[in-house]
Structure 1
């Protein structure tokens, strides 16, 4: 009886440790990751118009490098709009160095396509050099 109780306690402890490390794993550092894809906003838009479910599974939660022209800058939220279709939220404060109509290349995590606003979303972005 004591042997069974000891085995159950050991299993519970190991399961608890595994669950802890699963729940509190480290965050990704998108800035240091290599981009899985390098494309333009129009190329991304074309892929989604051809087959949105395939394109979404291809790019979702991946680090991508994308370039286009800045069409809007929002200083309080640290975000920009590229080619009127891509909403980008930056991790750092690079916005004072970005102007409207600048050609820009950014790297970030592709979040997905927002059907309601009809725009793509990227977060954790940094300005690529």
Structure 2
């Protein structure tokens, strides 16, 4: 009987440790990750127009890098819009030297396509060039 109780406690302890490590795992640092895909907004548009569910499965939660022109800047919300098609938010405050019309290379985590606003979304973005 004591062996069964001890075995049950051991299994419960191992399960609790596994749940703890799964719940409190390290967060990704997108700025140090290598980009899974390097592409343009035009390529994203083509792939989502062709098959949006397949494109979502391919790019969702992936680190992507792309080059585009800044069309709007929202300093309060730490975000920019690229080519009027992609909304990118930043964890840190935006650099003072960015300006509308400037072409930049951006890396971040791709969140998906917002059909209501008709724009792509990224977060944890960082400017590379």
Deviation at 1:70, TM superposition (A): 0.6
Matched-pair contact (CA < 8 Å) for 2:31–2:108: yes
Question: What are the Cα deviations for residues 6-59 of structure 1, in whole angstroms up to 9, with x where unaligned?
Answer: 100000000000000000000000011000111111111111111111111110
Matched-pair contact (CA < 8 Å) for 1:73–1:95: no
Kindly report the root-mean-square deviation, in angstroms, between the aligned alpha carbons of the 2 structures: 0.8
Gaps of 5+ in 1: none
Gaps of 5+ in 2: none
Structure 1 segments (4+ residues) deviating >2 Å: none
- Name the TM-score, length of structure 1 as normaliser: 0.97
Q: How does 1:7-46 map to 2 (within 5 A)?
A: 7-46=7-46
1:67 aligns with 2:62: no
1:106 alignment counterpart: 106
Counterparts of 1:94 and 1:77 in 2: how far apart (Å)? Answer: 9
